[in-house]
Structures are given as structure tokens and as C-alpha cells.
Amino acid sequence: MSAHQMGSGQMGSGRIAGERERLARVALNRLGEPGEVKLTSLAAELGAVRLHDLLLGEVDPQGLRTDLGARLAALDPERELEQAARLGLRFVIPGDAEWPDQLGDLAAAGALHDRGGVPVGLWVKGPLRLDELADAVAVVGSRAATQYGADVAREIGAVVARSGRPIVSGGAFGIDIAAHRGALSADRPTVAVLACGADRVYPQAHREILEHLGRTGAVVSEAAPGCAPQRVRFLARNRLIAALSRGTVVVEAARRSGALNTANWAGRLHRVLMGVPGPVTSAGSAGVHEQIHTGAMALVTGGADVLELVGAVGECLRAEVSAPPDARDRLTTRQRQVLDAVPVGRAAGADSIARVAGLGLLEVRSALTRLRDAGLVEAAGAGWRLTALARA
């Protein structure tokens, strides 16, 4: 079936109508660039089949097909689907059981921006279904990551993935690939959303790991098979990373980093937006610090913090981090007053301690005995001094 025939208006069973919709979307997707707002919003408004047929039938003042009509007529989406299937790719569209409903949030947020809107469909390779990404966490950051940044991204990838949440990132050098590797080290699936076709590899150095993701997790792209990575496609891709995930963590980002573009999308889409701090002397952390400073991002120090923030209430509470219990914690107020009155650097008599504590001598003597039993003070000559434990 060619693109021409799709416009013939013949209605069939539900399954065939679904296929017509899919073919129309494959064609429309090939027609425009990822995230082209005019296309994505018209497809949402008119329906893909109707939009496809309208564009196909468009004529210019000379009665010839318009450029768009001519280009649509030249496409063969059925063949494209078949060829893609041979490469292990499927085209997932709204209405499919696998469609990730959270992308619907792009309808409102995207309309105001250059590259936005709900994609007309997504090319996917790999066993992980897109409807399993509702709880996913995106981990993004600088391509020119430091070793510190890569280490933290990997830790977050591993801890979050181990909790059962897929990791979403972009397949790039630096933070992206470290996050993917973290998830793989936990033997959990991870998703790369690419700016080129899902059948392609970019960057080439990541061929092996991206192929591995295509077998164990998912490689996703809005761009049609064969498409090269282009700047405009990176921008459109960033919105998908943010929209697919419940929260986005930026590990390192300089002030003009593309990762901040993803972060902005996460903010617009009311996703949880998180940032990892680093040395203030590191340019790679400056973009993150700025966003934490303004309150746009929450500060997280690792996977446990991330899980706390993206978790439903009570679902995954961050372990209360506290110092080991301290002998001081078990003292009465009086005993603590006495302990506080023992000098830091030398021994003192009970009378001097009583004066400092503002307490009676008998009371102080009794408290000193308890403090000695607790290992906090020791006798020294005629007086008392702090033990190493109390000075710790």
C-alpha cells in the first residue's frame, strides 16, 4: 500500500484503522523534523489520517501538488515499517498499549516552544516497553564530565535502577553513558533516547553499549530510521528525555550545557528536577549550582536522595542518616550540664565544675560518678577531666 492509497477513505476493521493510523504517522513523522510544533499539534488536533490526507491532497495555484503533498506521495510508510522491523524497530503511536501516556504533558507545554508537542510516534528497539517508564528517572549532564561527575552518575544509575526504576538518558559521552553503565552494573534495563535514528549509533564509540541496550533495554528515537544526529534533533530529543521520566537529575552541567535544556523541559513539565553539587571551583558544576541557588533544582547527593524525591509518599523514604549513637545522648539534662562544665583542655576540681555549671556540689559529685561510669570523664589527681570519648 502506498501513501496515495491511504487517502482512499475506505474504512475497515479496528485493526486496519489502527494500521492506517500507524502508516499515516510514519509518513508524517518522516515529513517533518522531530518536535516540529506545527506538525505535532495539527496531528493531535485533526488526527493523523485526516492530516495526512489533507496534506496529500493539497494543490498550489497551478493545480499541482504542493511541495508537502508531493513529498508525502513519494513516501512508502508500509515499506518503511517492514524495513524497520527487519532491523528490530517498532513504531509506537498514541493509542498503542505500549504508548507512554506521560508524553501527553507535552501537548500543553510544547505548544509554546520551538521544538515541542507530543511526538506523532516513537521508533523503539529493545524489549523494554515504553509504558514501563512512568517511574523512570532521567540522568543527564555534561559530555565533558569529570571523573567525579561520572562516578556520581554511575552510582545514581545503579541505585535508582536497582530500586526498579528504569534509567533514561541520551547515550552521549560523559554523564549519559556513566548513568547507563550504572544501571547495567545493577543488571537492570536502561533507555537511550537518541537524536539520530534508533537504528544508528551516535557517537560511534558507544556502538557496543547501545547495541546492548537494544537487546536488554530500549533505544528510542523520534527521528526516522537512517536519520543523522542534527542539532535540532538534539533539542527535540531533550524534551522526550524529560517527558518520559518522573524526574530528571543533572549531574554536571556548565552554564550553557544542553543538559540544562533537558532540565528546563523537566521544570516546564512539572517533573521532579534535581541537581548534584560539586566543587564550586569546577565549571562543570556551575550550571547545576546556579539552578539549585535559584530554587529550580533540588540538591541531591546520590541515588538515595533521588529515590526519596521521586518516590510516592512513604514508598521509598530516604534512610535517616544520623551519626552513631553517642554516650552523651543518654545523659540527663543535669548530667549534660556537668559534662559541659568540665574544661576542654585540663582537669578541674568538682567545686570548680560546680561553679561553672551553676549547680550544687553534691549534685555535681553524683553526676560526675555517672559520667565516669559512662566513660565520659575520668579522675585526674584531685580533679576530673574529659576522656578521649567525650572529647571526640
Provide the grid cell at 149: 561527575
Q: Does 86 bind its own copies (CB under 8 A)?
A: no
> How remote is the C-alpha of 361 from its chain's centroid?
62
Residues paired with residue 138 on neighbouring β-strands, in sequence order: 168, 248
Task: Answer yes or no whether residue 277 interacts with its own copies by CB under 8 A.
Answer: yes
Nearer to its own copies, 9 or 329 (CB): 329
36 near its own copies (CB under 8 A):
yes
Quote the least distance from Cβ 150 to its own copies, whole Å. 12
Interacting residue with its own copies among 136, 152, 259, 266 (CB under 8 A): 152
| Stretch touching its own copies by CB under 8 A, among 74-82, 137-145, 274-282, 363-371 | 274-282
For its own copies, which is the closer residue by CB, 163 or 337? 337
329 contacts its own copies (rule: CB under 8 A): no
Judged by beta carbon, residue 162 or residue 328, the one nearer its own copies is 328
Q: Which residues within the stretch 304-323 sit at the binding site for its own copies (CB under 8 A)? A: 305, 321-323
Q: Which of 238, 249, 337, 347 binds its own copies (CB under 8 A)?
A: 337
Q: Of residues 343, 365, 370, 387, which one binds its own copies by CB under 8 A?
A: 343
| Min dist. Cβ of residue 144 to its own copies (A) | 12
Which C-beta is closer to its own copies: that of 267 or that of 343? 343
User: With binding defined as CB under 8 A, does residue 148 bind its own copies?
Assistant: yes
DSSP collapsed to 3 states, 42-53: HHHHHCHHHHHH
**Does 240 interact with its own copies (rule: CB under 8 A)?**
no
**Measured at the alpha carbon of residue 184, what is the angle toward residues 179 and 190, in degrees to the nearest 5?**
65
Q: What are phi and psi of 348, to 5 degrees?
A: -145, 150
The residues in 219-238 that bind its own copies, with binding defined as CB under 8 A, are 228-232, 235
Please answer whether residues 202 and 172 qualify as being in contact, where contact means their C-beta atoms are separated by less than 8 angstroms: no
Cβ neighbours for 39, distance < 8 A, ≥ 6 positions apart: 28, 31, 32, 117, 120
- Compute the distance between CA of residue 147 and CA of residue 103 in angstroms, rounded to an integer: 33
Q: How far apart are CA 283 and CA 297, in angstroms?
A: 18
Query: What is the residue whose three cell numbers read 552513631?
Result: 324
For residues 179-218, which are near its own copies according to CB under 8 A? 202
Asked if 159 touches its own copies (CB under 8 A), the answer is: no
- Residue 369 makes CB contacts below 8 A (sequence gap 6+) with none
Whether a cis peptide bond, with omega within 30° of 0, leads into 189 is no
| Assigned C-alpha cell, 279 | 566543587
How many residues belong to the chain?
392
Angle (CA) 302-306-307 rounded to 5° is: 120
Question: Among 127, 340, 362, 379, which residue interacts with its own copies (rule: CB under 8 A)?
Answer: 340
Q: What residues make contact with its own copies under the rule CB under 8 A?
A: 32-33, 36, 67, 71, 148, 151-152, 202, 228-232, 235, 255-256, 276-281, 285-286, 289-290, 292-293, 298-302, 305, 321-323, 337, 339-346, 355-358, 360
